[in-house]
Chain A
Amino acid sequence: MTVEPRNDAFVAFEHVQKSYDGVTLVVKDLNLSIGKGEFLTMLGPSGSGKTTCLMMLAGFETATNGEIRLDGRPINQVPPHKRGIGMVFQNYALFPHMTVGENLAFPLEVRGMGKSDREAKIKRALDMVQMGAFANRRPAQLSGGQQQRIALARALVFDPKLVLMDEPLGALDKQLREHMQFEIKHLHENLGITVVYVTHDQGEALTMSDRVAVFNDGRIQQLAPPADLYERPENSFVAQFIGENNKLLGTIEELSGDKALVRLATGELIDATPVNVKEKGGKTLVSIRPERVEFKPEIMPPGAHMIDAEVLEIIYMGDILRVVLKVAGSDDFVMKMRNTLGQTRLEPGQKIKVGWHPQDARALDP
Chain B
Amino acid sequence: MKKTLILTTALVGLGFAANADVTVMSWGGAYGEAQTEAFVKPFMAETGIKTIMVDSDNPATPVKAMVESGNVTVDVANIEYADAIRLCDEGILEPIDASTLPAGADGTPAIDDFLPGAITECGVSTDIWSNVFAYDNTKFPEGPTTVADFFDLEKFPGKRGLKKGAKAVLEFALMGDGVPASEVYDVLSTPEGVERAFAKLDTIKKDVVWWEAGSQAPQLLADGEVVMTTAYNGRIFAAAQNEGKPFQIVWDGHIYENEMFVIPKGAPNMEQAMEFIRFATSTEGLRASAQQISYGPARKSSMAEEIIYKDGKTVMAPHLPTAPENMANALETSADFWVDHDSELNERFQAWLAQ
Given a CB threshold of 8 Å, the question of whether A touches B is answered with: no
- List chain A positions with a Cβ less than 8 A from chain B: none
Q: Which residues of B contact A (CB under 8 A)?
A: none
